[in-house]
């Protein structure tokens, strides 16, 4: 039983990495460089992996190769606030302009191609349809259909695992606590990155970030709810 985790360096994918390490015998990670406005999230990745190895030796033994793929081509087909210096706003269709159309379809398909070559059986992603963003490529139905398409197109069965699909942000913190105790919560709080503006000046109770962009807002509320539930 082996897995490839879509690992961005954010809160959700780090929780997914812990989830995978608690279940599978061998785990590899994959990240995508698509010219994110701020490289901060990508820079967090190696630090988080090093902390997993140092602080959770049982998990560290299972943690294999890390892959980073260049997806700069995404810049050529989309114009979004994730990769351009424009203000983050809600569009007419209700999606924030940080939305990159079909991004998760590409991510999972490329992950499957790599997993095929590496002989890995499960693909793990932090997609979630509970929170506000409503990205159509995060929906469970979308990913179930993609799992089938990959099976038909590659003639090999990969299980697409999305352990956060039904969880809200507070429940994701709770999951981290269950998997790795206070040490993992603290690692996620201080080492992962969510802020769209790439702000990592000084830590808030919920971690680093500007505190006002949609990603920070979601992260702060989730952490506050988690603390309330724990109290």
Positions touching Zn ion (CB under 5 A) are: 195, 197, 209-210, 213, 216
Beta bridge partners of 6: 30
Shortest CB 185 distance to Zn ion, Å: 20
- DSSP secondary structure code for residue 37 in this structure: S
Tokens representing residue 110 in the block: 């490329």
What is the Cα–Cα distance from 17 to 42, expressed in whole angstroms?
Answer: 15
Shortest CB 201 distance to Zn ion, Å: 11
DSSP 3-state assignment of 26? strand
Shortest CB 81 distance to Zn ion, Å: 12
DSSP 3-state assignment of 94? coil
Identity of the residue, 51 or 220, whose beta carbon is nearer to Zn ion in the bound complex: 220
DSSP 3-state assignment of 120? coil
Tokens representing residue 100 in the block: 């990159």
What is the Cα–Cα distance from 137 to 98, expressed in whole angstroms?
Answer: 13
Shortest CB 199 distance to Zn ion, Å: 6
DSSP 3-state assignment of 171? helix
Identity of the residue, 42 or 210, whose beta carbon is nearer to Zn ion in the bound complex: 210
Cα radius of gyration (the chain) = 17
Identity of the residue, 110 or 210, whose beta carbon is nearer to Zn ion in the bound complex: 210
Identity of the residue, 97 or 109, whose beta carbon is nearer to Zn ion in the bound complex: 97
Shortest CB 198 distance to Zn ion, Å: 8
Identity of the residue, 122 or 169, whose beta carbon is nearer to Zn ion in the bound complex: 169
């Amino acid at each position: 039983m082996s897995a490839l985790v879509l690992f961005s360096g954010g809160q959700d994918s780090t929780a997914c990495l812990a989830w995978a390490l608690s279940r599978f015998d061998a785990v590899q990670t994959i990240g995508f460089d698509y010219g994110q406005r701020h490289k901060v999230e990508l820079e967090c990745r190696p630090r988080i992996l090093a902390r997993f190895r140092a602080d959770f030796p049982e998990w560290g033994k299972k943690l294999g190769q890390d892959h980073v793929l260049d997806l700069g081509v995404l810049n050529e087909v989309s114009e979004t606030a994730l990769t351009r210096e424009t203000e983050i706003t809600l569009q007419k269709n209700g999606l924030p302009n940080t939305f990159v159309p079909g991004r998760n379809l590409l991510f999972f398909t490329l992950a499957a191609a790599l997993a095929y070559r590496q002989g890995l059986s499960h693909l793990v992603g932090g997609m979630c349809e509970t929170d506000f963003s409503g990205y159509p490529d995060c929906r469970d139905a979308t990913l179930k259909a993609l799992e089938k398409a990959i099976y038909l197109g590659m003639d090999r069965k990969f299980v697409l695992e999305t352990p956060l699909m039904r969880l809200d942000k507070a429940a994701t913190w709770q999951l981290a606590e269950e998997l790795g105790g206070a040490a993992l919560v603290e690692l996620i709080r201080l080492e992962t990155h969510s802020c769209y503006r790439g702000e990592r000046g000084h830590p808030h109770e919920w971690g680093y970030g500007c505190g006002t962009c949609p990603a920070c807002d979601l992260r702060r509320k989730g952490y506050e709810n988690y603390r309330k539930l724990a109290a």
